[in-house]
Amino acid sequence: GRKTAQRSGFTTAFVPNVYDFEYMKKEAAGQVTKSGLGGEVIYGNNAGKKSLDKTYLAQAAATGKLTITTLHRVTKVAPATGSGYSVTMEQIDEQGNVVATKVVTADRVFFAAGSVGTSKLLVSMKAQGHLPNLSSQVGEGWGNNGNIMVGRANHMWDATGSKQATIPTMGIDNWADPTAPIFAEIAPLPAGLETYVSLYLAITKNPERARFQFNSGTGKVDLTWAQSQNQKGIDMAKKVLDKINQKEGTIYRTDLFGVYKTWGDDFTYHPLGGVLLNK
């Protein structure tokens, strides 16, 4: 990752991180439960990450004024009689079955359901007339942070190591290049064996955007993003990584994201937008 990028004239930079690497040292030594070295990442790290339960939520809980209620899904927010808001929610079990419906009132409601969850709920509430005064910009400007994944096949003498964490710590910084503005995280591939694969999660400056819109026929909120909108990001990433392949005499892996498929372009790690700042 780093060596091959630098040999091709690219600079690398460390990725800001919230993992406790002192904990990871103990993981490697077999002293604690493995988290980052145990394959945990997409659905959260159960031990080593400095996650909200160890930071802001812990501070809030210490005040004695916080109640955390899990397995609840908000379905409606509307002005309450007099003042404040009425919040309707479904309580579900671990299989997603609704076991109860609740209504609470609050002076203020903060939406913190992520880019997708917050956008879908607000778009739905505005379209159904529950929160009619929301900005017309709600649901607009959604993007996938230009996320593209790709892997290069290293030579047999260029191993990546069988013991890898799930946490990227370094990336190729080509953001200032107007022809291929990307930051390619040098991503781990924690398979537990030597793969000889250099894996990248590229953040590209893809200008494509989409919107969330209410579907009156289904009663649900749809996203207009099309997979073809990733092509600009692919082109940017390809320009950088082609140069590395040419310098190193290597090729792309075509078996990581499907059959004979080079680019991982059907996902996002970083959904952004829908409720834009200052909009």
CA-nearest of 252, 255, 263, 257 to 153 is 252
Could you confirm whether 270 is annotated as catalytic? Answer: yes
Taking the CA atoms of 40, 55, 145 and 111 in sequence, report the sign of the dihedral they define. positive
Q: In 101-224, which ranges are continuous DSSP H helix?
A: 114-127
Give the closest residue to 73 by CA, choosing from 97, 52, 57.
Answer: 97
Amino acid at 208: E
Burial 161-178 (b: 16+ CB within 10 A, else e): eeebbbbbebbbbbbeee
**Residue 172: helix, strand or coil by DSSP?**
strand
Catalytic residue status for 185: yes
Ramachandran quadrant class, 9 (left: phi over 0; alpha: psi -120 to 50; beta: rest): left
Per the residue annotation, which of 27, 40, 140, 185 is the catalytic one? 185
**Residues with a known catalytic role:** 185, 270
